[in-house]
A and B are shown apart, each in its own frame.
Chain A
């Protein structure tokens, strides 16, 4: 692929400076100064408080570490540079979320040409909780586990088992085939069909 985190980060940085590329939300409501008594003292506090949340959100949407790391970096490089002025913690998180939504959409446009996953309003509630008691550890992961469990529960036994073994238990296709007592070739077919069925269920549940 030759697509390195460093290179994409540099592109994001360049984009942020010119107002193009990063495509951050427009400053259409400068008079708004709403809510949350909490303020971040500096960008480092913004970063420390949100890097974990943003990463988890991204991981839930791309499912792999290298992409999740690159996209998280892209969000902060695009968002933190123009981040200035007093903004409440809630405003900063809403802004990070808006940036993350744009960054994720750009990722799918570049890599597959189709928007596979997107950040929804429900995701925003996780990133920007009304109450800070929602720990960042809950962001993304709990929702992802819930969604996966809901899909798996509706699948026929064999489909459910192959997906559990492969996706949740980190089994190789060979190990999964052995566990199910089927051939490796059939395990591959099963996995393929199970994913299609799971996709239909996801569609229905949306």
Chain B
């Protein structure tokens, strides 16, 4: 039963994940897969993760839950009970992909490991998302977001000189990377299944997912034997003869900070950008010392730190007189390589995002509210990406799925509920 109005119409996903893996099912669901979130009776513990709607700490009002469970339906089920296991097996028989993020071995222990699922549905894809993978010396190690970004190498390259390495303060990035890689691995296996009829087990490591965010840091170590560290607002040019040159690429402006490039030499674009920025400063009588400076002659390989600081200082004084919006507007007009360090407020007002229809308004009828969510990571005209439904309430689709699909009677559902199975 394939629905070609969405990209993944016809693909059914059972989602047993906790906060480390929620993002996986969200990604598949927003592309159109029929994702059923299977929560423990009473609701997943991740519903207690903030921030909360109206700052009311209520499992039905977690914005973290909202954000990471869009386009899913939700049922409650205790898969550790015999009844729960049987119901899950019946659902698995209808599924293409099962995603879970329990500690390695748990699914086997409850009789729902890959070999058991394959008995139920020979071509099933099972995706397991864990901190370090299913096997290996750290397989049983525990990790949170912070431990994930530390072990994957991202924390070490963030932060400021002389202070501890840091994680990003926004969202649990390690969980999101693990979830997105889970969605990718699931899709790889699903694609193969569609072509060949062969299912498989997908083993995702959060640590590995983080290592993929390091850009060329590992290559830099391997070739130069230099371990990168966080440098705060600075960029360092490594110069074999003159030693390191630090340039401050994030600078204060009137109402916040911007990042920019200032220099030139072989980089025609940077020289042109620097000239445009300087001309603007000169219009207002600032940075006049650099008035006739030929940016093509800027030679970062021989520049002294003192001279560099002097030039950056002059233009920095000018930047301080302007707001983020003023700077960015001019940057767009004059092709100046500069961008504001946006806050969430700035992002919500960004003209480009608005013009592209990025924000998707999602109805939350029980809150009497519509909320703007971040929208499509890719645009697909024929099969639009969209948030097909808001995140489920606790057990919201129990009736629809247990009675409607599996044909359980009202009495049976009541019995399961009374026994804490659903």
Partners in one complex: no
